[in-house]
Structure 1
Amino acid sequence: MENSSDQKPTIMVTNDDGIDAPGLRSLVRVLVSTNRYVVLVCAPDSEKSAVSHSITWRHPVTARRTNIDGATAYAISGTPADCTSLGVSQALFPSVPDLVLSGINMGSNCGYHVCYSGTVAGAREAFFHGVPAVSMSYNWVGGKSSIHDYTLAAEACLSIISALLAEIRNQTYPERCFLNIDMPTDVTNHKGYKLSKQGKSIFKMGWRQVTSETEGGKMLSTMTMETDSAAQTETNTSTALQDHALFKREVKGIHIDDPDTDWQYLQEGYITVTPLAALSNAEADCQAYCKDCMIPLFPPKIIIPGILHLS
């Protein structure tokens, strides 16, 4: 949506932690307090962490008007991708937003975890529709972080948001990417903004048998996965499995082998800004290997009119 100089740009906010999550509420409150934006909210009515880019296909979703001061807000029964798709469609709101912000997520989203993240999917879906978008995450650490940190994180991103909207207004914003922003735990004393690239960091996951669906608690976000005493307890594997068994994921550690990327810079205290695209293409050496080594191994096609034969 194009704006003249005297119109406020429109920002739509979504997330995967749910419309009542403190990260989203803090971001909306900070945006509204500037009095510079028209703020829309279209977010899941409950937590949808780590649902990736799943969508609701066979059933309708419900949209319930929700009271958030200074914003026009709806709680949606679907996924983050559903929320963004509905929010930019002009079926719910009268116009397409200038910018979509997804977050602020509880926990960082770096490396391979952007594939699991519903927060990143909320921004990626806007990108699919040609709407500029940013996913935003705060590196929450239990015992160190507080709810107030979300407000500090939102305020730290205001300058980025303003700069992006200026680029959008000037029609110089790149159309082939969206941005993924991660903010460090001590966001007040961050070291600045670091343009980074997506790394390959990932938590090593395992499974253990549990006796109830509530045993061991729940993981609060895609990347906020900390080992606890329960995760360190050895499961008695000598017990024969019953016909109906319950298993729960547990964190075994973290795998990081990529310097100079999003996860490393985040741990060093930077606010990382990582351009992402819709798909991750195979690296050049893999492309070369498939072309030079694998293709010659494929059986040749012998084509007879109307029939396909593989020799």
Structure 2
Amino acid sequence: MEGEKLGTILITNDDGIDAPGLRALVQSLVSSNLFNIQVCAPDSEKSAVSHSITWLQPIAVKQVNIAGTTAFAVSGTPADCASLGVSKALFPTVPDLVVSGINKGSNCGYHIVYSGTVAGAREAFFNDVPSISISYNWIKGKSTLNDFVLAAQVCLPIISAVLVETKNPSYPRKCFLNVDVPNDVANHKGYKLTKQGKSIIKMGWRQVTSETEGQKMSSDMTNTDAETPKHFDPSSISSEHLLFAREVRGSVIDDDDTDYRRLLEGYITVTPLAALSHAEVDCQAYFKNWLQSVPELSSSSSL
């Protein structure tokens, strides 16, 4: 650590190293002069890749210039970036905190499973490094790039407090934090501790005649401007192939005190997450009784 700085923060994301959310977060942290900032983020958009990792081949890493930081663009996934960033293979020390974001789109409810942003924080958690994932509830036609700046500013107290609190032996090490910032961030209602809900955008498929008819999906699985995904290779498609594109068919929103419900009410939601999602208690009870009967069912079916 340098001087009075609180510690070293590693920044990653899934929207790519040039994404406005990451740049706004980095600028806010650098401007505060409270932290040493490292960046290890995907070299292109990796939205909705969940916790996928690169396994069968090396990843390429290139140093880039982001003022006030030591930064690298990586060909891998957000989980790759977080893993590499805390490994001491790229940077000489392990960071005190990993922050993944700021994502363009909320990451609440069941969508957390899809999120590359949350995966970046989860991967740090796997490596025993405290972490936070941050997302902004971007709404097309209403949000502006300056909202990322405001989102970074309202999250700065959380980031600072976590860095201080991690030095306390009682700080819980069995979870990491997922933070979602409401669309009207300038008029937010404050911080709200929530739990992961079951909200989800219901998806369907439609057959299309060309790759340009598909729509790019943002990290929160909502439609953004129609465009061909960067990883899509039209030359790989022949006349023998059928093309199908995802489309939104509706949504399900929790009614109780959960992350997405409170986010829509205007709160900055703070949700502790763990690596594992445990089944509901009634499921455990059902399958406990069911499993005891399996040998009998198997014997009777063979007769």
Q: Does 1:273 align with 2:273?
A: no
Give the match for residue 244 of structure 1.
Answer: 241
Counterpart-to-counterpart distance in 1, 2:123 and 2:44: 19
CA contact (8 A) 2:21 2:102 kept: yes
Q: Residues 67 and 5 from structure 1, CA distance in 2 versus in 1: closer, same or farther, beyond 3 angstroms?
A: closer
Give the match for residue 57 of structure 1.
Answer: 55
Instruction: Give 1 or 2 for the bigger CA radius of gyration.
Output: 1
Equivalent of 1:296, from 267, 277, 292? 292
Q: Residues 223 and 270 from structure 1, CA distance in 2 versus in 1: closer, same or farther, beyond 3 angstroms?
A: farther
Equivalent of 2:186, from 168, 184, 188? 188
Give the match for residue 238 of structure 1.
Answer: none
Q: Match for 2:241: what amino acid?
A: H
**1:139-181, Cα deviation, whole Å (9 max, x unpaired):** 0001110000001000001111111011112333210000000
How many angstroms does 1:227 deviate by?
11
Counterpart-to-counterpart distance in 2, 1:287 and 1:113: 24
In the superposition, the TM-score normalised over structure 2's length comes to 0.90
**1:23-75, Cα deviation, whole Å (9 max, x unpaired):** 00000000000001000000000000000000000000011001000010000
Q: Match for 2:96: what amino acid?
A: D
**1:255-279, Cα deviation, whole Å (9 max, x unpaired):** 1244210010000000000000001
Q: Does 1:157 align with 2:155?
A: yes
Counterpart-to-counterpart distance in 2, 1:49 and 1:171: 35
Give the match for residue 234 of structure 2.
Answer: none
Give the match for residue 198 of structure 1.
Answer: 196
Q: Residues 108 and 141 from structure 1, CA distance in 2 versus in 1: closer, same or farther, beyond 3 angstroms?
A: same
Q: Match for 1:244: what amino acid?
A: H
Counterpart-to-counterpart distance in 2, 1:210 and 1:276: 38
SS in 1 for 2:212: coil
Q: Residues 50 and 35 from structure 1, CA distance in 2 versus in 1: closer, same or farther, beyond 3 angstroms?
A: same
How many angstroms does 1:115 deviate by?
0.3
SS in 2 for 1:265: helix
Give the match for residue 76 of structure 1.
Answer: 74
How many angstroms does 1:5 deviate by?
8.4
SS in 2 for 1:281: coil
Give the match for residue 235 of structure 1.
Answer: none
Q: Residues 243 and 297 from structure 1, CA distance in 2 versus in 1: closer, same or farther, beyond 3 angstroms?
A: farther
How many angstroms does 1:216 deviate by?
3.7
How many angstroms does 1:288 deviate by?
1.3
CA contact (8 A) 1:85 1:126 kept: yes
Counterpart-to-counterpart distance in 1, 2:25 and 2:208: 37
CA contact (8 A) 2:47 2:116 kept: yes
SS in 1 for 2:65: strand
Q: Residues 117 and 224 from structure 1, CA distance in 2 versus in 1: closer, same or farther, beyond 3 angstroms?
A: same
Counterpart-to-counterpart distance in 1, 2:225 and 2:120: 28
Give the match for residue 13 of structure 1.
Answer: 11
Q: Residues 208 and 69 from structure 1, CA distance in 2 versus in 1: closer, same or farther, beyond 3 angstroms?
A: same
Q: Match for 1:99: what amino acid?
A: L
CA contact (8 A) 1:199 1:263 kept: yes
Counterpart-to-counterpart distance in 1, 2:172 and 2:140: 37
Q: Residues 39 and 53 from structure 1, CA distance in 2 versus in 1: closer, same or farther, beyond 3 angstroms?
A: same
How many angstroms does 1:7 deviate by?
5.0
Q: Match for 2:8: what amino acid?
A: T
Counterpart-to-counterpart distance in 1, 2:280 and 2:129: 27
CA contact (8 A) 2:5 2:36 kept: no
How many angstroms does 1:214 deviate by?
2.1
How many angstroms does 1:299 deviate by?
1.3
Q: Which ranges of structure 2 fall in alignment gaps of 5 or more residues?
A: 227-238, 297-301
Give the match for residue 44 of structure 2.
Answer: 46
Q: CA-atom RMSD, angstroms?
A: 1.9
Between the aligned residues of both structures, percent identity stands at 66
Counterpart-to-counterpart distance in 1, 2:208 and 2:8: 47
Q: Residues 26 and 7 from structure 1, CA distance in 2 versus in 1: closer, same or farther, beyond 3 angstroms?
A: closer
Counterpart-to-counterpart distance in 1, 2:123 and 2:295: 39
Counterpart-to-counterpart distance in 2, 1:42 and 1:224: 26
Q: Match for 1:89: what amino acid?
A: S
How many angstroms does 1:212 deviate by?
1.7
